[in-house]
Structure 1
Amino acid sequence: MIRRLKYHEIDFVKYSQCLDNSEQRKYSATKEFLNITAPNQWEILVYNDYEAVMPVPFVRKYGVKIVHNPKLCQQLGVFSAKDDVKVNEQFLDYLENYYLVRVYPFNDGNELHTKLRMKKNFLIYPEAYDKVYARYSPKRKRKLRLDEEVLNHSEIRTVSYNEMKLFIECNMLGLSKENDLAGFMKIYETSYHLKYLRFLAFYYHDKMINAIAVYSDCNMVALLGTFSDKEYVKLSGASVLIDQIIKETIETHIFDFEGGDIPNIEEFFRGFRPELKPYGIIEYSKKDLFKKLGSLLLKGRLF
């Protein structure tokens, strides 16, 4: 049986145990990460006595609760000791019939009979760094061989949020609204102060020209941001930084590239020879939401 629990009703000890023992374990479903990315705006669906759980983040528009994936949260879905397609379908059915869903992602470990739109993601699993590096594409290896002048006048530094803030604001691409940037920056700042997020920067002639943000938890290291000064893109600082993080962590942690649907980004990630791990996503237009709202209200099902 599936139950819906509001945030204050969740037994977080049982919830965390379910996540920790799950076949689909992801940092993005933890209480800590969701409290950062969707503070006070998420609840869960529970199967029996926490045999399986499904976190459900939401936003409120005109007093109506709408399921929507938070910024920087790529995958959620069902978490259980063993993935069960029948249980997954029950969760999906419950979500579709009792919520207004704008965007909701399952995870790469969830099998479903229902056909969902698939999105790409790439992972590198724990292994000796030498073996991981040996699989890099010839092009990526060339990019990592810096010429002597760059090598002599560059360095990698771990930097603070305050040192990174302006660089991110000036070099974050793809944002449609000013408040989007504020939302991202709040997540970066909070994650950094809670010691989940690390910033690594590539300096050339004492100037920051590339930086990455990586989130670490649940034996995963996730790439939550890549920022580059366009004037220095040919110096391959982003490749150097990602390779450095992989070198430091890959023996014990999964490296999660957190994306790959944009063609040039996919090409860049594939140079590290990761494994493609697609995941399903539910997505409805605003027009579809208005249609469904009336139906749910008539049935008395809208939470």
Structure 2
Amino acid sequence: MISYLERGDLNLEKYDDCIENAIQYNVFGYSWYLDVICEQWGAYVLNDYEAVMPIPWRRKMFVKYVHPPLWLIHLGIYSKQIEDENEFLIEVFDDFRFVELRMNSKNSFNMFEKFQKEKQVQILSLKDDYEIIRSRYNRNRKRELQKSIDFDLTENWGGNTSKFIELFRNNVGKRVYKIKESDYQNLDILMQICIQKKVGELLLIYDKSNNLVSGAFFLKQKNRVTELVCSSDFKNRKNGANTFMNDRAIYKYQKNFDVFDFGGSSMKNIATYYKSFGAKDENYIQLVYNNLPKLLKLFKG
């Protein structure tokens, strides 16, 4: 039996144990992660937490709807053994009239195909030695790495999260629609908690004048590392900083992880950049369901 429970009614010990031991494990499903980034959330629970599906939700114009917050790449259904995942969608589409949610790559469905969009992230295998991985970079990446040497860039692991947020705010943040001050506060809290739990690391790149020119925050998830958020100084792009940043992360994590997840994009230009490191597409499903009354069809816009 599948039941929906709001966050306050969940048995968090059993819930987080399901996330930890799920076939589809990722860090995004943990209760502590969702507590930071979600306005409200609950979860569908199969029997005694044999499987769970966390649901971030909001309310607008008296309508309760499902929508992913910032700093969340994937959620989906988490189960300790293979389950009929279609049953969860039946419940979600019955309870919510608007749903937009990125599932994880191990979720699959044979129902509700018209409400599914295939999307991609880019992942790089780390199973080979670093020198072999680097040899597969394309010419542009190798040229940018040489620039980083010429400009005498340096890496700093475990730097100041506030400096990184300021870099992001002044560059990527100006191009992303409606990032609120509370979103930046959530990101800072999230990074601090991830660092404390030893599942997150911050990498900052400086030039020879000690100017911060690039950075990224990484999540360590068992055998996989994910680049959650990154930014470069858009006014200082001729030094190879972004390529150097990704290369230093690949070098560091190759020793202890199997997969480097760029966080990726279905946008062609971003995907092409990540593939220039030798990355490949990994598909996942995005649920997009709108059963609102006609007068409210466009409310989310």
Question: Above 0.5 in TM-score?
Answer: yes
Aligned partner of 2:282 among 277, 284, 293? 277
Residue 97 of structure 2 contacts residue 289 of structure 2 at CA under 8 Å; is this kept in 1? Answer: no
Give the Cα separation in 2 of the matches to 1:5 and 1:218: 28
Q: Cα offset for 1:27? A: 1.1
Structure 1 range deviating more: 98-107 or 217-226: 217-226
Gaps spanning 5+ residues in structure 1: where? 295-303
1:290 alignment counterpart: 293
What per-residue deviation string (whole Å, max 9, x for no partner) do you get for residues 62-110 of structure 1?
Answer: 34321111112121111113344xx111111111111133311211001
1:22 and 1:61, CA in 2 relative to 1: closer, same or farther beyond 3 A?
same
Q: How many residues align?
A: 285
Q: Is residue 109 of structure 2 the alignment partner of residue 112 of structure 1?
A: yes
Instruction: Name the residue aligned to 1:82.
Output: 81
Deviation at 1:268, TM superposition (A): 0.9
Deviation >4 Å, runs of 4+: 291-294
Identity of aligned residues (%): 24
Scaled by the length of structure 2, the TM-score of the pair is 0.85
What amino acid sits opposite 1:201 in the alignment?
L
Query: Secondary structure of the residue that 2:108 maps to in structure 1?
Result: coil
Specify the alignment match of 2:266 in structure 1: 261
How big is the shift at 1:279? 0.8
- With the length of structure 1 as denominator, give the TM-score of the two structures: 0.85
Please, which moves more after superposition, 50-59 or 73-82?
73-82
- Paired residues of 2:214 and 2:241 also in contact (CA < 8 A): yes
- After alignment, is 65-74 or 130-139 more displaced? 130-139
- Alpha-carbon distance in structure 1 between the residues aligned to 2:222 and 2:63: 33
Structure with the higher fraction of residues in helix conformation:
1
Cα distance change, pair 125–172 in 1 and its aligned pair in 2 (3 A): same
Letter of the structure 1 residue corresponding to residue 136 of structure 2? R
Q: Counterparts of 2:80 and 2:126 in 1: how far apart (Å)?
A: 21
Measure the CA separation in 2 of the matches of 1:258 and 1:67: 21
| SS of the residue 1:82 aligns to | coil
In the alignment, the residues of structure 1 paired with residue 57 and residue 236 of structure 2 have an alpha-carbon distance, to the nearest angstrom, of 39
Q: Which position in structure 2 is the counterpart of 1:144? A: 145
Show CA shifts across 1:26-83 (max 9, x none): 11111121111115x1111011221211001101223432111111212111111334
Secondary structure in structure 2 of the residue aligned to 1:279: strand
Listed as ranges, the matches of 1:182-261 within 5 Å are 182-194=181-193, 195=195, 196-204=199-207, 205-253=209-257, 254-261=259-266
For 1:113-128, list aligned pairs within 5 A. 113-114=110-111, 115=113, 116-127=116-127, 128=129
Q: CA deviation at 1:137?
A: 2.8
Return the alpha-carbon distance in structure 2 between the equivalents of residues 143 and 256 of structure 1.
21
RMSD (Å), alpha carbons? 2.4
Shift of the alpha carbon at 1:291?
Answer: 4.6
Q: Which shifted more, 46-55 or 120-129?
A: 120-129
- The 5 A counterparts of 1:94-109 are 94-109=91-106
Are 1:46 and 1:53, in contact at CA under 8 Å, matched by a contact in 2?
yes
d(CA) in 2 for partners of 1:292, 1:221: 43
